[in-house]
């Protein structure tokens, strides 16, 4: 080390341990568990759409890509509704009432 220069030594590991410790404390709260429960459901749905062809867009431009995403999400939702009703169209009434439509 050159005595004429100023050196800064960072203790990143200790800072990291403090940050990880505070995050682990937050995960034990009931508020976090409720938030994570809803987030996990959303992440599953996003992953499902991504695995069904939205990893790459077939169009150039944000507007066209958003239209493709809307169509893809609508298709996935229709498929899920059809699977929930098991093809029985008469069950759509109870399903739409439950969804508030």
Whether 53 and 75 have beta carbons less than 8 Å apart is answered as no
- The per-residue DSSP string of 27-75 comes to HTSHHHHHHHHHHHHHHHHHHHHIIIIISS-SSSSHHHHHHHHHHHHHH
CA distance 7 to 98: 64
pLDDT digits (tens, 9 = 90+) for 33-90: 888 888 888 888 888 888 777 778 888 899 998 898 888 888 888 887 787 777 666 6
CA distance 76 to 84: 12
pTM of the predicted model over 0.75: no
């Amino acid at each position: 080390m050159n005595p004429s220069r100023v050196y800064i030594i960072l203790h990143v590991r200790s800072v990291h341990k403090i940050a990880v410790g505070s995050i682990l404390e937050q995960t034990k709260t009931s508020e976090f568990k409720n938030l994570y429960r809803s987030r996990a459901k959303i992440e599953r749905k996003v992953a499902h759409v991504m695995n069904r062809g939205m990893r790459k867009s077939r169009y150039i431009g944000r507007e066209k890509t958003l239209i493709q995403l809307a169509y893809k999400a609508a298709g996935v939702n229709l498929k899920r509704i059809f699977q929930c009703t098991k093809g029985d169209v008469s069950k759509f009434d109870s399903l739409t009432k439950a969804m508030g439509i």
